[in-house]
Amino acid sequence: MGAGGGTVGLKAMTRARTVKVGHFIVEFVTPGIGHMLKNAGCDFVLFDTEHSGFHNETIKSALRYFEAADLPVIVRVPSKEYHHIARALDMGAEGIMVPMVNDAAEAEAIVQSVKYTPRGNRGVALAVAHDNYQPGDVLKKLQASNDRSTLFVQIETAAGVDNADEIAAVDGVDCLWVGHFDLSASLGIPGRFGHPKFKKAIEQTYAACKKHKKAYGRLVPDTSSGIDLFAGGFDFICYAGDVWVYQAAVQDGVSKIRAGCKGRAGARAGSPAKRKAGSKR
């Protein structure tokens, strides 16, 4: 997978317990973003439309950028509503991530929105973006889309944890993805990821994934967290987000320049150019 091993589709990724490493896009969409991430070694990209503010035209363009780089995309939609899910799929999303999934009934309704007949009731739109505008046999196209579409459901509420086993059992759910901040808030311990209640929730959700042979994913803020979480059962590791990586890199460079300049301020004050300027007063 990734830069060295050719592209593997999201569906195949969810069926293997090897590590898959991606990146979260919430701010920057340029024509080169797909190739940048592909050449950085990413196996997938998580493209956010829940908190980013990206609208449909931007999403559709971004999906072409990632397609050009041959980089699989998971689009996190804003809600469990049919129109958010089906529209992202029609625009070409290979993977769909849905927030705040609380029980098996909600998971099944989402599957119905993701899949064409006979598995679901997604409205039929063929020879458009998701099948590259190609004509072809209708039944084969419906089956191909059902085989390709990959569903990531977010476990980020106390109810979702309580019902994780039945959610993981739903046919059509490929991965349980922990929304760690929202989950900690739902548990009454916002941001306290080392708290026993949070750890228990993580273990309970992992047990459901393991029992039903489903993938397990999470966003991580740094490399050490990603390594530790893989050891704890997570196999989809999304490394940070564009805005935070960019900001941290710029902050690091700016602070080092300021610190270095401060250390040399005395030497600069005594430079020949400075003394010459002072002698004219």
Instruction: State the catalytic residues.
Output: 51
* Whole-angstrom distance, CA of residue 188 vs CA of residue 63: 37
What are the b/e assignments for 255-281, b being 16+ CB within 10 Å? eeeeeeeeeeeeeeeeeeeeeeeeeee
Helix (H, G, I), strand (E, B) or coil at 32: coil
Q: Scanning the structure block, which residue is given the tokens 């999470």?
A: 218
* 83 φ/ψ angles, rounded to the nearest 5 degrees: -65, -30
CA angle 21, 209, 232 (to 5 degrees): 55
Cα-trace Rg, the chain: 23
Residue with tokens 């980089």: 71
Q: How far apart are CA 182 and CA 226, in angstroms?
A: 19
What secondary structure does DSSP assign to 158-185, as a single string?
Answer: HHHHHTHHHHHTSTT--EEEE-HHHHHH
* 104 Cβ contact partners less than 8 Å away, ≥ 6 residues apart: 163, 166, 167, 169, 170
